[in-house]
């Protein structure tokens, strides 16, 4: 067995994968997010650790005894600040935290080559601006900061005692020279840090520590190797077999992602697209990111009185999309691609006395689909190519939503076996490569097709008429968003 541990925003997911590549056992433990102020989003790293331990220990004991290697994946960009004794100094600032917009401008002024080095715009979601915010607003904490780790790498520290990260996750810090796959001294200096604050770097398929004896015993595992692993999206790519240039996938999780593999570093920072290292050596990828995808559906379902999102989607399907369906901007936590606007907000537009809860759910499904279409346009303008798109993430089981997204993109979506386990499966595959030294293409095979969601012409025609209204709505409200949150 090879164990994949995925530290997500809403929970820790575990997948044990056997030698045939099948998921033999899985488990998960939920996590909460703290939002003590507007634009803030934080979690306690100790909660990550407790959830990780509980999730691993919930696997059958015979599965745990058979594990030969562990791989890690996790939510990107989060800032875990440690003192000289490796104690956490403050709650981790997460990827969807928007407080550091002023520091983004400051960072690019301090290092004018920032976009050239990192391939990315400075955005509040990235790690480096978060540290400038801490330096300005919590100088005592900054002064005591001896190390900065990403979320999954904090779990690695607890598991192995090692401070190590991988290239894909490190790409999301704004401290990595993404083309050279090495820390950038210039970007670190612009944040008041140096290499001494950073973990060492490995490829996702390389060894990156061994379980400490006491930890292995507590988890019911042998003292096995831990692989470099990956950020959640690169891990999902490995899990779905998206490893060759031109292959792509769509992730329908808490956030929404479109991901294309590239053979070289191909930045498109001006359009707020991301250019990161892949989890495999000599591979990179382009990515568009929306901050609220399945999380928007969860929110709307609760708002409309549904305790089960499947029931909410079924009701929306029965109500149907139409000209009278409200429009929805899914910017509940701001937005990245293509707007790079941390103060954007969610909006229902066109409500009437006849609007029902199912109508509002339908609007959310459509609004997220339109936001994916915005992201796809950005990637295509940057030289990416997409034909068919594999789909991963917990919401990939919602058939009606995939029909809507396929129509918005005018591309078939392919749901594959194990796609909902995505990042955890990919992390387990990376662990296998690290332990066995097998060729990545042999391990990261494309899973079997479960179903293809082809665009439906009537739905495409309707959404083609409505999308300009969606686009114009954001443009009309852009200034108002800033005034509302100021």
The answer to whether 358 and 319 are in contact (CB under 8 A) is: yes
| Whether the predicted pLDDT of 456 surpasses 90 | yes
DSSP secondary structure of 138-169: -HHHHHH--EEE-HHHHHHHHHHS--EEEHHH
Positive or negative, the Cα torsion across 170, 173, 175, 176? positive
Lookup: tokens for 314: 């079924």
| Whether the predicted pLDDT of 385 surpasses 80 | no
Positive or negative, the Cα torsion across 89, 56, 166, 114? negative
Instruction: Find residue 202's DSSP bridge partners.
Output: 166
The answer to whether 41 and 59 are in contact (CB under 8 A) is: no
Q: Tell me which range, 252-261, 410-419, 452-461, is most confidently predicted by mean pLDDT.
A: 452-461
Which residues are CB-contacts of 415 (< 8 A; sequence separation ≥ 6)? 390, 391, 396, 402, 449, 450, 451, 452, 453
| Whether the predicted pLDDT of 415 surpasses 80 | yes
In CATH, what class is 2-240? alpha beta
Q: What is the pLDDT of residues 10-61, one digit of tens each?
A: 999 999 999 999 999 999 999 999 999 989 999 999 999 999 999 999 999 9
Active-site annotation holder among 169, 177, 232, 374: 232
Report how far residue 170's alpha carbon sits from residue 47's, in angstroms, rounded to the nearest whole number.
Answer: 22
Q: What angle do CA 95, 99, 103 make, to 5 degrees?
A: 100
| Whether the predicted pLDDT of 381 surpasses 90 | no
Q: What is the pLDDT of residues 60-83, one digit of tens each?
A: 999 999 999 999 999 999 999 999
Stated pTM of the model: 0.87
141 burial (CB, 10 Å; 0-12 / 13-18 / 19+) is middle
Question: Catalytic: 177?
Answer: no
For residues 302-320, average pLDDT: 96
What pLDDT is recorded for position 418? 72
Report how far residue 392's alpha carbon sits from residue 374's, in angstroms, rounded to the nearest whole number.
Answer: 19
Coil, strand, or helix at residue 208? strand
What pLDDT is recorded for position 485? 78
The domains of the chain are located at: 2-240
| Whether the predicted pLDDT of 101 surpasses 90 | yes
Going by C-alpha positions, the residue among 314, 25, 71 that lies closest to residue 169 is: 71
The answer to whether 169 and 76 are in contact (CB under 8 A) is: yes
């Amino acid at each position: 067995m090879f164990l994949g541990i995925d530290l997500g925003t809403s929970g820790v997911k575990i997948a044990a994968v056997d030698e045939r590549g099948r998921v033999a056992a899985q488990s998960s433990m939920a996590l909460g997010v703290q939002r003590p102020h507007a634009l803030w989003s934080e979690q306690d790293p100790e909660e990550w650790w407790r959830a990780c331990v509980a999730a691993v220990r919930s696997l059958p004991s015979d599965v745990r005894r058979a594990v030969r290697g562990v791989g890690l994946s996790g939510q990107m960009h989060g800032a875990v600040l440690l003192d000289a004794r490796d104690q956490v100094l403050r709650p981790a600032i997460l990827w969807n935290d928007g407080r550091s917009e002023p520091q983004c401008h400051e960072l690019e002024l301090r290092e004018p080559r920032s976009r050239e080095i990192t391939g990315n715009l400075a955005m509040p979601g990235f790690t480096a601006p978060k540290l400038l915010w801490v330096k300005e607003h919590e100088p005592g904490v900054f002064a005591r900061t001896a190390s900065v780790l990403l979320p999954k790498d904090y779990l690695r520290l607890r598991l192995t005692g090692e401070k190590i990260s991988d290239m894909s996750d490190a790409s999301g810090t704004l401290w990595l020279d993404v083309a050279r796959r090495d820390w950038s001294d210039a970007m670190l200096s612009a944040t008041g840090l140096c290499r001494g604050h950073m973990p060492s770097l490995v490829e996702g398929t390389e060894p990156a520590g061994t379980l400490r004896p006491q930890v292995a015993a507590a988890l019911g595992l042998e003292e096995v190797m831990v692989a470099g692993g990956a950020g959640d999206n690169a891990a999902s790519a490995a899990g779905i077999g998206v490893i060759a240039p031109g292959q792509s996938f769509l992730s329908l999780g808490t956030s929404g992602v479109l991901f294309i593999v590239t053979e070289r570093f191909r930045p498109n920072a001006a359009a707020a697209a991301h250019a990161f290292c892949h989890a495999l050596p000599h591979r990179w990828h382009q990515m568009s990111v929306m901050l609220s995808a399945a999380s928007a559906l969860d929110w709307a379902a609760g708002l409309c009185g549904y305790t089960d999102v499947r029931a909410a989607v079924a009701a929306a399907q029965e109500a149907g999309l139409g000209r009278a369906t409200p429009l929805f901007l899914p910017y509940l936590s701001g937005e990245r691609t293509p707007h790079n606007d941390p103060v954007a907000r969610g909006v229902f537009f066109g409500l009437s006395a006849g609007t029902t809860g199912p109508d509002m759910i339908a609007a959310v499904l459509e609004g997220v689909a339109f936001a994916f279409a915005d992201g796809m346009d950005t990637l295509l303008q940057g030289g990416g190519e997409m034909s068919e798109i594999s789909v991963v993430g917990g919401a990939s089981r919602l058939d009606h939503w995939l029909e809507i997204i396929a129509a918005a993109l005018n591309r078939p979506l392919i749901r594959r076996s194990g796609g909902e386990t995505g990042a955890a499966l990919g992390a387990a595959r990376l662990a296998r490569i690290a332990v066995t030294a097998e060729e990545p293409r042999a391990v990261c095979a494309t899973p079997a097709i479960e179903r293809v969601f082809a665009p439906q012409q009537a739905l495409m025609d309707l959404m083609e008429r409505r999308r300009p209204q969606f686009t114009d709505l954001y443009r009309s409200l852009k200034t108002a968003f800033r005034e509302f949150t100021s």
